[in-house]
Structure 1
Amino acid sequence: MSEAAIAEKDLGNAAYKQKDFETAHVHYDKAIELDASNITFYNNKAAVYFEEKKYDECITFCEKAIEVGRETRADYKLIAKAMSRAGNAFQKKEDLHTALKWFQRSLSEYRDPELVKKTKELEKNLKEAERLAYINPEIAQEEKNKGNDYFKKGDYPTAMKHYNEAVKRDPENAILYSNRAACLTKLMEFQRALEDCETCIRRDPKFVKGYIRKATCLVAMKEWSKAQRAYEDALQVDPHNEEAREGVRTCLRSNDEDPEKAKEHSLADPEVQEILRDPGMRMILEQMSNDPGAVREHLKNPEIFSKLMKLRDAGVIQMR
């Protein structure tokens, strides 16, 4: 290794730190002239170009550094450094896909922990950008209409394909989840249908059909208490909805047919079992059995209220 070349590199480094990039180039060029086989000189010159925002020139010298590094069997960390710097340059040029490829190449040479994090973040951002770029409400409407046509024909698998595409094209549209839930119910995929109903309700809590579709699905599963609650939620949104009113009546009749069997089914629910195992809830239930008026105080606590409603729906307790 040429001592004179190293001396020039050191002078270049000193100028770089002072942000005297013109002088840094002069010294790095001289170092390369004295020793063209040292990857570090090319890496350093690429760094200067990067600071000058001359990203194309930076990339050129990164590629030269890699070429020289391969020929001289340089330390893989130095080759990885050239690759990651090229990636940084492409990122500055907003060519993110190419930047990602360079980062991945760099990591194949050396898994720098910081670059691993940066690469994961870039992958996440690219995926999200692609998702957002795919959104198109007009195409979503077209796909929904096609799905509706196939649904009416009874071709539920084909309808599903169109509903899936509609959701991808407009993921904030509550109606699309409702339509897909109806299709999933026809396909007897009740758990997935329930998930779509819940998403529909989260997207638009005032969309009454979301609650009714949820109830319909629960009825098909013979979850009468849960279905009744869903119909009651629908009536909270639209007190005059006749389908929800009739649904409540149907659930009450069905529950009355075999209340012990319904209760046994509800007690198998892991969530109900967990509530009943809670020492605090057992104490509250005992207090309520001794003093029915105590329930009013407990209903003020949102968490306890939610658990009591769950037990009520399961038929474990009676509340009026």
Structure 2
Amino acid sequence: MADEAKAKGNAAFAAGRFEEAVQHFSDAIALAPDNHVLYSNRSAAYASLGRYAEALGDAERTVALKPDWAKGYSRLGAAHLGLGDAPKAVEAYEKGLALEPSNEALKSGLAQARQAASAPRRPVGSGADAVGKMFQGPELWSKVAADPTTRGYLDQPDFVQMLREVQRKPSSLNSYLSDQRMVQVLTLMLGIKFQNQSNGAPEPAAAQSNPPPPKQQPAAKAREPEPEPMEVTEEEEHKERKASAQKEKEAGNAAYKRKDFDIAIQHYTTAMELDDEDISYITNRAAVYLEMGKFDECIKDCDKAVERGRELHADFKIISRALARKGTALAKLAKSSQDYDAAIETFQKALTEHRNPDTLKKLNDAERAKKELEQQEYYDPGIADEEREKGNEFFKQQKYPEAVKHYTEALRRNPKDPRVIC
């Protein structure tokens, strides 16, 4: 249910319905109050609404729950920047970069925060600040989406970044007025309707006598926008991690075929760290341990694969493979007939998951080995002679059933004694 609410929040956020996104993320948090990603997502939604105090609260909660997550500090820096506290924003971005030095979003945010920290403060409510504050309300996105002239701009990432920058910092509006799209949105927010001119460029109806707005220039490099919900980024990272895990698996397979077992284990272990939703990496590593004679490590990996496979509702064939591999390792470790009991039981469990001919053969081999070992453990020529003598006494007394009983026991103790067979 929390995942469902989170997905709805992501969809609302992507559509610019930030109030709705906040509500969905709040619902998800109520169901999973310790999930740091949910607070991060809601922080982004609050920031997009210009509600930076709430965004800061959620960002602080994100960092408290997951202090080693670099992107949480991106949320924290953005919230501080939105509240006008550039020094604290700088501090937050620097902490994030200490954890993940190559994060471009954190680098951009830090540069922006440092610029804001060094810039002279302008009087609040003057010039572009006063006009720009109109962009801070939640109605901005709904108005832009509802107007046929401007709704297409929401599909243009550079323009969405500009809008979010103006939401975060109203004074930045002036630097974007060279872009015709921003002029159109500004007139929309001011309530001025456009009329189409002969050259096809729209112009405010109340300013027909004035020169037309400046020809659209390439937009200035947009500053880092308020981060979108983490799931958008995490889904991409998730796919990349899965692809990387598969490459590690392939490298491990190649090393295994070369019998370069240590290298194979390294690759399979890396694959497991990248993607814990595919238990084949664990079973593959178990196979390497089996080849190396590290049977205890093999058994541990097989148990781990079965446990994780149950959680993920993995294919029963994969679970069967893990159990069969464990059974093989247990059979290799068997030193007495009783030791084979665990291997036989494990093979039987594997067959209940998937009736594989190879597993069935291993079960039969284990049962045969157990029987042979039992015979070896029971072998005792001394006791066999005692039982044969007892059989002879009963035979002389014509007590043939009793004689048969003792001769049979003598044969079990020494199957190759021809006197007993005779």
Question: TM-score, normalised on structure 2?
Answer: 0.38
Ranked by relative contact order (alpha carbons within 8 Å, sequence separation 6 or more), the top structure is 2
Between Structure 1 and Structure 2, which shows a larger proportion of helix residues?
A: 1
